[in-house]
DNA sequence: GTGAAAGCGCTAACAG
DNA sequence: CTGTTAGCGCTTTCAC
């Protein structure tokens, strides 16, 4: 069906060894021969099979990517960043998604490993305690984590704790005292925990009492009535919400609107992810931004460095700067300092 | 490094053939032997290399996916749909993106082909005139297009012409007469052309004059001043905009707001894609929806059918139903029928 | 400068 | 039931 090196050899009237050399080391072969071989290659539309090479023990030039989902633009953007560099450098990507499921994480890694990928770029639910990663450390292939903010393993991420801390401090600076954190299905993930810890620290430092994160299943794109009640009723209702990701923030925002609450006048909202789309809302969503494309590209570069053996230094976790996008969804509480400035200037600052 | 079947054979004290059988046809081997082999496999943490199998001419269980970009959720959603079925059926996905670039389309297909993928799922810029697809038809591998709405090749898509027609007719039904179509960088794509044709037909059928699509580069997430002027100034300014995709619609919407135009009171907007996020806007964006996950899954099923040789019938192009989500961004023109109902009920109808 | 041959990990006849 | 052997497409000594 598809022509092989053998067909080319026959067509050109040389041995397969010569054809191989003509392809991989053109300078070592007689120009006339070379020309004839190339003719044959063109005539047959021959493309060397990576399979042969790979099997021969050469580099597979294959990198595995394991992501929770592509439904969240955060990961799609990371993948986009990886793909940019990968295709520029002649690597192929093998993609698997896990839906935050440990079982599927295991399966993905095993599959990729079987495929003899040269390296792995992955985002897992919980990096620190993951036995699979220990296995990878021991038996390869080399890997780099994305968005898993851990000091124990090679990773590229923002400082989730610090980022959440900064964000919540901003809310506090706007006079908010009853601030609630909302988390999605990632509640079991290390990221969510770190963000909650940052929230808690900011609260305590201001003499406020942190609450446990309110877990929300937002797959339905609708807010449960019970949740809504929790957010809107009573004098002790929160005046600001810190959402563990932008998608969740958007759903919440719409839910509140339906309940006739105004954002930000009646409720301030801060997201996490800094999605481009969330900035297109009206008002633009305030959000802690992560440089997703850059995270993908950095992860790629670190992986390549590790593969190339250039990996140096004990700094396993690379921390990229997060940003704080002060959109229009944060208002100052009237009876405190910033009164009046319901809508802050837009723009983002690097923290 | 990684153990091979040979290592397992040695460890178990049997031949590699027996090990192979123990793996691929357990019932043909003595239970005792089987147990011993399995022990060895576990002890060595052996995973059979697909490379060997693939080289042997077996099925590679590898499918190539070629997409313009992952930055647009439309494609991320398609991929998500594909991935669902692929991983359930034990296939691996190799992903390449093209950024709408013909050069990169060619490169992607060649790379994937070299990798001996069993099939290809792709979205190209222009399906009808694509020489690469002719080559695929001739030399394989089998493929299915997504979002390329053509009758000449195996594809899964909505009817772009009809969808645009339906959408624009709705705008007209609301009393709009000066309706402009905005298109993004995909202006060179078959989809954009088909959508414009649908727009034009709806206009003409209503006795209105269609305008050429206004091309907009919205990578910057900002609207060019010249464009904005075009949309807002003069008595002949459009009262409704039909945007060739939701991302564009969102950018436009924000641009208009900044220019102090109210949506939908001063300008109605209709998008195309039906992105989940665009429904979270306030008001929710009216949009023609495409079932992206379903498109991905259908493409997968058709590809599998083709590979399995079950491909039947001359119906190359599979057309999936589009939806019309009447969000809050379409208002009736006051001096015509629907006056008063500035905001329509939400909900989606299958067309 | 070129060819013959071995071998990468695996499966599939074919023997025994 | 199990082992031997050939060969998938390719690269790479090692001869010539």
Q: Tell me, in Å, how far CA of A54 is from C1' of C4?
A: 22
Distance from CA of A23 to the nearest CA of B (A): 15
A interface mutation test: which of B115, B223, B293 has the most A CBs within 10 A? B115
Distance from CA of A246 to the nearest CA of B (A): 10
Interatomic CA distance for residues A59 and A198, integer angstroms? 43
Q: Tell me, in Å, how far CA of A8 is from C1' of C5?
A: 19
Residue lying closest to nucleotide C13, CA to C1':
B17
DSSP state of B208: -
Q: How confident is the model at residue A345 (pLDDT cuts 50, 70, 90)?
A: very low
The answer to whether B71 contacts A76, with C-beta atoms less than 8 Å apart, is yes
Q: Which helix (H) or strand (E) holds B243?
A: strand B240-243
The per-residue pLDDT of chain A, averaged, comes to 86
Contacts of B97 in chain A (CB under 8 A): 80, 83, 87
Residue lying closest to nucleotide D6, CA to C1':
B56
pLDDT given for residue A85 in this prediction: 94
pLDDT given for residue B312 in this prediction: 57
Write the pLDDT tens digit of every residue in A83-120: 999 988 889 999 999 988 888 999 999 889 888 898 99
Alpha helices in chain A (DSSP H): 5-12, 16-24, 31-44, 50-55, 73-88, 102-114, 131-139, 160-173, 190-205, 225-232, 246-258, 292-307
Distance from CA of B70 to the nearest CA of A (A): 6
pLDDT at residue A145 above 90? yes
Q: Which residues 6+ apart lie within 8 Å of A232 measured at CB?
A: A256, A259, A261
Minimum CA–CA partner of A116 in chain B = B49
Q: For the residues of A316-331, what is the DSSP string, one character each? A: -EEEEPPEEE--SS--
Interatomic CA distance for residues B201 and A287, integer angstroms? 43
**Would an 8 Å CB–CB cutoff place B71 in contact with chain A?**
yes
Q: Which residues 6+ apart lie within 8 Å of A286 measured at CB?
A: A268, A269, A270, A271, A324, A325, A326, A327, A328, A329, A330
Residue with the two structure tokens 């019932």:
B27
Tell me if residue A248 falls in helix, strand or coil.
Answer: helix
Name the more confident of B108 and A344: B108
Interatomic CA distance for residues B136 and B113, integer angstroms? 9
The pair of structure tokens assigned to A192 is 């969510």
Tell me if residue B159 falls in helix, strand or coil.
Answer: coil
A interface mutation test: which of B70, B107, B284 has the most A CBs within 10 A? B70
Determine whether the distance from the CB of B59 to the nearest atom of strand C is below 7 Å.
no
Residues 16-45 of A with CB under 7 A from strand C: 16-18, 21, 28-30, 32-34
pLDDT given for residue A335 in this prediction: 53
The answer to whether B276 contacts A54, with C-beta atoms less than 8 Å apart, is no
Distance from CA of B247 to the nearest CA of A (A): 8
Q: C-alpha angle B102/B106/B109, rounded to 5°?
A: 135
pLDDT given for residue A341 in this prediction: 37
At what angle are helices A73-88 and B73-88 packed, to 10 degrees?
A: 80
The answer to whether B95 contacts A93, with C-beta atoms less than 8 Å apart, is yes
Across the strands, what pairs with B287?
B271, B325
Determine whether the distance from the CB of B260 to the nearest atom of strand C is below 7 Å.
no
First to last CA, chain B: 58
Name the more confident of B96 and A310: B96
Determine whether the distance from the CB of A56 to the nearest atom of strand D is below 7 Å.
yes
Determine whether the distance from the CB of A347 to the nearest atom of strand C is below 7 Å.
no
Taking the CB of residue A310, how many other CB atoms lie within 10 A of it?
A: 9
* Count of A-B CB contacts under 8 Å: 134
pLDDT given for residue A152 in this prediction: 85
The answer to whether A94 contacts B93, with C-beta atoms less than 8 Å apart, is yes
**Would an 8 Å CB–CB cutoff place A79 in contact with chain B?**
yes
Write the pLDDT tens digit of every residue in A120-142: 999 998 888 888 888 888 877 89
pLDDT given for residue B340 in this prediction: 36
Q: Tell me, in Å, how far CA of B34 is from C1' of D3?
A: 15
Write the pLDDT tens digit of every residue in A229-282: 888 887 788 999 999 999 899 989 988 988 888 888 999 999 999 998 888 888
Interatomic CA distance for residues B351 and B170, integer angstroms? 12
**Would an 8 Å CB–CB cutoff place B7 in contact with chain A?**
no
pLDDT given for residue B1 in this prediction: 65
Q: Which of B1, B71, B93 sits opposite A80 (nearest CB)?
A: B71
pLDDT at residue A218 above 80? no
**Would an 8 Å CB–CB cutoff place B345 in contact with chain A?**
no
Which nucleotides on strand D sit less than 7 A from a protein beta carbon?
1-5, 7-13
The answer to whether A140 contacts B110, with C-beta atoms less than 8 Å apart, is no
At what angle are helices B160-173 and B190-205 packed, to 10 degrees?
A: 40
Interatomic CA distance for residues B123 and B79, integer angstroms? 11
Is residue B186 within 8 A of residue B161, CB to CB? The reply is no
pLDDT given for residue B343 in this prediction: 36
Minimum CA–CA partner of A45 in chain B = B139
Write the pLDDT tens digit of every residue in A319-333: 999 999 988 899 888
The pair of structure tokens assigned to A37 is 């071989």
Interatomic CA distance for residues A164 and A184, integer angstroms? 15
The pair of structure tokens assigned to B5 is 């079947």
Contacts of A2 in chain B (CB under 8 A): 113, 116, 139-140
Burial tier of B8 (Cβ tally within 10 Å: 0-12, 13-18, 19+): buried
pLDDT in tens, chain B (351 residues): 678 999 999 899 998 989 999 988 888 888 898 888 989 999 988 888 888 887 777 778 889 999 999 988 999 999 999 999 998 888 999 999 998 888 899 999 988 988 888 899 999 988 888 888 888 888 778 999 999 988 888 999 999 999 999 999 999 999 999 999 999 875 568 888 899 999 999 999 999 999 999 888 766 667 777 788 888 887 788 999 999 999 899 989 988 988 888 888 999 999 999 998 888 888 889 999 999 999 999 999 999 988 877 665 556 788 999 999 987 899 888 654 433 333 333 333 333
The b/e string for B324-335 (b: 16+ C-beta within 10 A; e otherwise) is bbbbbbbbbbee
Write the pLDDT tens digit of every residue in A176-194: 999 999 998 655 688 888 9
Domains of chain A (ranges, CATH numbers): 5-56 (1.10.260.40), 62-157+293-320 (3.40.50.2300), 160-290+325-346 (3.40.50.2300)
Q: Which residues 6+ apart lie within 8 Å of B195 measured at CB?
A: B160, B161, B163, B164, B181, B183, B244, B272
Backbone angles phi, psi at B63, to 5 degrees: -125, 135
pLDDT given for residue B221 in this prediction: 64
Closest of B276, B286, B274 to residue B328, by C-alpha = B286
Q: Tell me, in Å, how far CA of B351 is from C1' of D9?
A: 52
pLDDT given for residue B339 in this prediction: 36
The b/e string for B52-66 (b: 16+ C-beta within 10 A; e otherwise) is eebbeeeebbbbbbb
Is residue A246 within 8 A of residue A274, CB to CB? The reply is yes
pLDDT given for residue A216 in this prediction: 84
Q: How far is CA B70 from CA A293, B67, B77, B84, in A?
A: 11, 7, 9, 17
């Amino acid at each position: 069906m598809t022509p092989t090196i053998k067909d080319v050899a026959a067509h050109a009237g040389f041995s397969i060894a010569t054809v191989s050399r003509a392809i991989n080391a053109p300078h070592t072969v007689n120009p006339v021969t070379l020309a004839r071989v190339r003719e044959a290659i063109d005539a047959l539309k021959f493309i060397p099979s990576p399979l042969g090479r790979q099997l021969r023990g050469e580099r597979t030039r294959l990198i595995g990517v394991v992501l929770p989902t592509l439904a969240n633009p955060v990961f799609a953007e990371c993948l986009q960043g990886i793909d940019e560099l990968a295709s520029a450098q002649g690597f192929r990507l093998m993609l698997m998604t896990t839906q935050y499921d440990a079982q599927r994480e295991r399966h993905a890694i095993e599959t990729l490993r079987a495929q003899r990928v040269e390296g792995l770029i992955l985002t897992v639910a919980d990096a620190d305690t993951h036995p699979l990663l220990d296995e990878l450390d021991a038996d390869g292939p080399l890997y780099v984590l994305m968005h898993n903010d851990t000091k124990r393993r090679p990773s590229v991420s923002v400082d989730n704790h610090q980022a959440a801390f900064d964000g919540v401090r901003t809310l506090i600076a706007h006079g908010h005292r009853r601030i609630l954190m909302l988390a999605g299905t990632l509640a079991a993930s290390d990221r969510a925990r770190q963000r909650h810890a940052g929230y808690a620290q900011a609260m305590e430092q201001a003499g406020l009492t942190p609450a446990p994160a309110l877990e929300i299943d937002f797959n339905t794109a609708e807010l449960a009535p019970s949740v809504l009640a929790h957010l809107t009723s009573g004098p002790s209702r929160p005046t600001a919400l810190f959402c563990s990701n932008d998608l969740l923030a958007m759903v919440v925002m719409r839910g509140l609107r339906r309940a006739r609450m105004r954002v930000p006048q009646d409720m301030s909202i801060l997201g996490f992810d800094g999605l481009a789309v969330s900035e297109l809302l009206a008002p633009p969503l305030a959000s802690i931004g992560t440089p997703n494309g850059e995270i993908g590209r950095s992860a790629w570069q670190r992986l390549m460095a590790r593969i190339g053996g250039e990996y140096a230094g004990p700094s396993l976790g690379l921390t990229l700067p997060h940003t704080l996008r002060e959109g229009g969804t944060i208002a100052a509480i009237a009876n405190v300092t910033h009164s009046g400035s319901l809508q802050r200037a837009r723009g983002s600052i690097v923290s």
